[in-house]
Amino acid sequence: MATTAIMGYRVERRSTRSPLAWALALILAGACALLVCAGLFIAAGADPWQAFAALLKGGLGSKRAIAETMVKATPLILTGLACTIAFRARLWNIGAEGQVFAGAMFAYWCQSTLGDAPAPIQIAAVIVGALIGGALLGGLAGILKARFQVDEVISTVMLNYIIVYALSLLLQNGPWTEAGSFFEQTAMVPDAAQLPILLAKTRLHLGFLFALIVAAFVHVMLLRSSLGYEIRAAGSNLRALEFQGVKITRLIIVVMAISGAVAGLAGAFEVYGVQHRLKSGTLGGLGYTGIIIAILGQLRPMGVVAAALVFGVLLNGATLMQIKSGVPSALIYAVEAIILMFFLIAWAASEFRLRRLHHVG
């Protein structure tokens, strides 16, 4: 018995989790999150009903609103998937943040060296470049771990800083800086390289469809492929895999590279689908939010898509919420965090139970 008792109570892991208890916990967590958010809105001097209504209307109220929600969800689906792939193998890749930048930068380099190529070739260059750029940075952390036993949490966080500042360097009167511009940004990318718009009069671009395809691909990869089998096995018992002669070092590097490649797509899609130029700053936070998305999605690709869409609603609706009720749109990040916290509490509540210890009679 290795459990410790605190104030007469002991935390025990349940042997099985009942789906009913899980559903109940989730509903309760949702209600609690709403309550706390309402309190937050009141503190910000707004009517919570009005704020929530505006949030929903802004996120889902019209065809355009829904399209914009999908735009916001696109990079989060990809970074959420990137984290899912690594986390399933118990590799704590905190580097999706940097891998987003690496993907965007490598895609920009590939596309811009092409010059005046036809659109399909330019877009292919963007996608391939994004995959390679993300894979290089993720794979580097993988090599550091596999060959030199450098903890991936440390290396990925450090690489995040390196890559973000490297981009700044390139954009601050550097080779990529837009001629005559005061801002840290490149010139607009050519029309031929921009991702096609899927729905007229909206910003919904090809990247969203692509992200869904990647999600389906990751789903099949994890559940059915030999590589997915090894990823899941590594997440459960790495030693048993080692005993079967599976090359663990290779597996670590491959998983980190694939995780990085998927995150890299998120960066390139933001640049070529939404911003249409590479700026320092606008890509920040996508990778870290991906960690939250992966956890909310329970490390399942379909869950990740759902969680990313919910966050898309929040991010997109925040603007209308600010206009209509005066709640600062930045408060939406607090809402995100509140959702995560209550979700984790719900998870713990359904996985563990508190048992009261009897006292001596």
- Binding residues for another protein, rule: CB under 8 A, are 1, 15, 220, 224-226, 229-230, 232-233, 235-237, 239-247, 357-361
Which residues are bridge partners to 354 per DSSP? 11
Residue given tokens 């998305």 in the structure block:
293
User: Any idea what DSSP says for residue 328?
Assistant: -
User: Residues 139, 321: contact at Cβ < 8 Å?
Assistant: no
Minimum CB separation of residue 220 from another protein in Å reads 7
Query: Within 13 Å of residue 158, how many CA atoms lie on the same side as its CB?
Result: 9
User: Residue 19 CB, nearest distance to another protein (Å)?
Assistant: 16
Q: Considering the complex, what minimum distance in angstroms separates the CB of residue 243 from another protein? A: 5
d(CA 117, CA 341): 48
Measured from the CB of residue 87, what is the shortest distance to another protein in angstroms? Answer: 14
8 versus 281: smaller Cβ distance to another protein: 8
Pick between residue 18 and residue 62 the one whose CB is nearest to another protein.
18
The Cα–Cα gap between 99 and 267 comes to 8
Cβ of residue 5: shortest distance to another protein, in angstroms? 8
SS3 151: coil
154 burial class (0-12, 13-18, 19+ CB within 10 angstroms)? middle
End-to-end distance of the chain based on CA atoms, in angstroms? 22
Q: Can you tell me the distance from the alpha carbon of 47 to that of 283, in angstroms, rounded to the nearest whole number?
A: 32
Q: Which is nearer to another protein, 109 or 217 (CB)?
A: 217
Residues 6 or more apart whose Cβ sits within 8 Å of residue 10: 3, 4, 354, 355, 357
* DSSP category for residue 1: -
- Residue closer to another protein by CB (options 64, 247) is 247
Q: Which is nearer to another protein, 201 or 359 (CB)?
A: 359
204, 63 contact by CB (below 8 A): no
Q: Which is nearer to another protein, 227 or 345 (CB)?
A: 227
Q: Give residues with Cβ within 8 angstroms of 30, minimum separation 6.
A: 342
Select 60 or 233, whichever has its Cβ closest to another protein.
Answer: 233
Q: Which is nearer to another protein, 64 or 232 (CB)?
A: 232
Query: How far is residue 16 from each of residues 21, 27, 317, measured CA to CA in Å?
Result: 11, 20, 38
How many Å separate Cα 210 from the centre of its chain?
15
Task: Name which of 172 and 237 has its Cβ closer to another protein.
Answer: 237
User: 177 near 167, Cβ under 8 Å?
Assistant: no
CA distance 272 to 278: 9
Spacing of C-alpha 284 from chain mean position: 12
